[in-house]
Amino acid sequence: MLTIKNLNVSYGVIPVLHNVNMTVEKGELVALLGSNGAGKTTLLNTVSGILQGASGTIEFLGKRIEKSAPQNIVRMGISQIPEGRKIFPYMTVKENLFMGASTRQAWGSRHEMFERVTKLFPILEERKNQRASLMSGGEQQMLVIARGLMAKPLLLMIDEPSLGLSPLFQKQIYRAIETLPEQGITILLAEQNAQISLEISNRGYVLQDGEIVMGGTSEELLASDMIRQAYLGV
């Protein structure tokens, strides 16, 4: 579904990503591991068209997209859930969700998708007429994931969903994310929390200082001495 080849990205004259190569197959849940500042968000933003690579290619469903505008990439079927729970604070929960139905096709299905995402996160149905800023951090994270789903993506990229959340909310959110491939949504999950992300993923890549330094099945990565020392504290 997604193929990245020899991707290089810079902020001005400062190189950030170096010859990144990775693939995501249809129906997979792929973890992208890396510490803060490793380049995970930069990689997702480049796939989304928010940033432009200096060189390299990005293919989605066999089509080159590295020079496409962000709104066109969303229409093709890629949604990104940004880090940091970026909500529209003074809008209601339901209004926030409808903002995610940003394409013509998605807007036509907004009521159907609203039913689907509130089944995934029932608290959103209970709070649908409440101002989004009054929700807890965990509830806001559920909201932004659901808002990304409102665009009816084929590929959903999620950036650090566990950041700053209690273990209870982490489990609830990851339990929901784990069900998405069964619904036809392929997942690229960027995370610092290796344990929880590898437990639900099929495969993973490790991004370190802008380079992919390791890749393999989730079982292989969990058994790796490097992962155990760097991310699991073992």
The Cα–Cα gap between 14 and 16 comes to 6
* Whether the Cβ atoms of residue 28 and residue 186 lie closer than 8 Å to each other: yes
Give me the sign of the Cα torsion angle 83, 142, 138, 133.
positive
pLDDT of residue 232: 66
Residue appearing with tokens 């068209």:
49
97-144 pLDDT tens trace: 999 999 999 999 999 999 999 999 999 999 999 999 999 999 999 999
30-43 pLDDT tens trace: 999 998 889 999 99
Give me the sign of the Cα torsion angle 79, 16, 203, 178.
negative
Q: Are strands 29-33 and 203-208 parallel, antiparallel or unpaired?
A: parallel
* Whether the Cβ atoms of residue 31 and residue 159 lie closer than 8 Å to each other: no
pLDDT of residue 192: 87
pLDDT of residue 221: 93
- Beta-bridged to residue 80, according to DSSP, are 157
Residues of the chain with pLDDT under 70: 232-234
The Cα–Cα gap between 56 and 174 comes to 32
Residue appearing with tokens 């997604």:
2
Indicate the pTM of the whole model: 0.93
Residue 132: count other Cβ atoms within 10 Å of its Cβ. Answer: 24
Taking the mean position of all CA atoms in its chain, how far away is CA 159? Answer: 5
Q: Are strands 78-81 and 155-159 parallel, antiparallel or unpaired?
A: parallel
Q: Residue 143's closest CA among 79, 73, 88?
A: 88
